[in-house]
């Protein structure tokens, strides 16, 4: 929980500094264009909750407590929205960094990548990071992925509460898959 709070606070700090969490010389691979509007709508609805609490709850101490909780919740949700913009996937000489909001962050060394290509895939899971099927980890948006990264050898990935899993392929979503494939291939060693 503490780690999550620090990640969200850092996202807000990046907003204030007008920076993204992409290594120097790296290329951002954005993945959240299609879900951003939904998040903004959900954030815009938050003030309605605050007004409803003020109107419906008569007890002043309870209203104050609920107001504090609503404000803290809005701040946390704003930080989650910030992660959509400030924590993209990225590729640099350090490797390929795959993310999902503040909930998933995994780095793959470039030497571990066998191939990368555009490949659309529908997912059963609603979105986010799914437990691998056939050692293929999917980091999807709107129940789909459009990029496939095949690894040279199996690799362990920590999925937090879901445990550590072994994967041989990582499928993910990129807003511009063609540009993402080009950016990743540009960083790969010549022998790949």
Task: For residues 43 and 39, give the distance between their C-alpha atoms in angstroms, rounded to a whole number.
Answer: 6
79: number of Cβ within 10 Å? 22
Among the listed residues 108, 80, 74, the one whose alpha carbon sits nearest the alpha carbon of residue 15:
80
Question: What mean pLDDT is reported for the chain?
Answer: 89
- The 3-state DSSP class for residue 103 equals coil
Placement of tokens 């109107």 in the chain? 55
- Residues 129 and 116: their CA atoms lie apart, in Å, by 19
Q: Which residue has the tokens 């299609």?
A: 34
Under 8 Å between Cβ of 177 and 145: no
Give the tokens for residue 29: 């691979």
pLDDT one-digit tens code per residue, 119-173: 988 888 766 888 777 899 999 998 899 999 999 999 999 988 888 999 999 999 9
> What pLDDT was estimated at residue 36?
85
CA neighbor of 84 nearest in space, from 33, 148, 131, 130: 33
In this structure, what DSSP letter does residue 162 have?
Answer: G
Read off the pLDDT of residues 79-127 as tens digits, 9 standing for 90 and up: 988 998 999 999 999 899 999 988 899 999 999 999 999 998 888 876 6
Q: Which of 186, 191, 189, 192 is nearest to 25 (CA)?
A: 186
State the Cα–Cα distance between residues 85 and 36, nearest whole angstrom: 9
Query: Is the per-residue pLDDT at 191 higher than 60?
Result: no
- Rounded Cα distance between 164 and 84, Å, is 25
- Give pLDDT tens digits for 14-56: 889 998 899 999 999 999 988 888 888 888 887 888 888 888 8
**Does residue 60 register a pLDDT over 60?**
yes
Q: Which residue has the tokens 């948006």?
A: 141
Task: Say how far apart CA 128 and CA 101 lie, in whole Å.
Answer: 9
């Amino acid at each position: 929980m503490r780690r999550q709070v620090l990640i969200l606070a850092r996202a807000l700090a990046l907003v204030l500094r007008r920076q993204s969490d992409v290594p120097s010389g790296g290329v951002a691979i954005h993945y959240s264009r299609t879900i951003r509007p939904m998040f903004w709508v959900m954030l815009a609805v938050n003030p309605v909750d605050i007004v409803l609490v003020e109107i419906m709850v008569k007890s002043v101490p309870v209203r104050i407590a609920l107001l504090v909780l609503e404000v803290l919740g809005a701040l946390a949700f704003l930080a989650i929205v910030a992660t959509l913009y400030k924590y993209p996937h990225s590729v640099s000489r350090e490797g390929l960094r795959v993310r999902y909001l503040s909930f998933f962050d995994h780095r793959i060394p470039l030497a571990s990548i066998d191939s990368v290509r555009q490949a659309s895939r529908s997912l059963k899971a609603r979105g986010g990071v799914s437990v691998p099927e056939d050692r293929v980890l999917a980091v999807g948006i709107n129940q789909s992925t459009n990029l496939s990264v095949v690894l040279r050898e199996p690799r362990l990935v920590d999925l937090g509460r879901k445990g550590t899993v072994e994967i041989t392929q990582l499928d993910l979503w990129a807003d511009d898959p063609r540009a993402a494939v080009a950016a990743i291939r540009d960083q790969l060693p010549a022998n790949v």
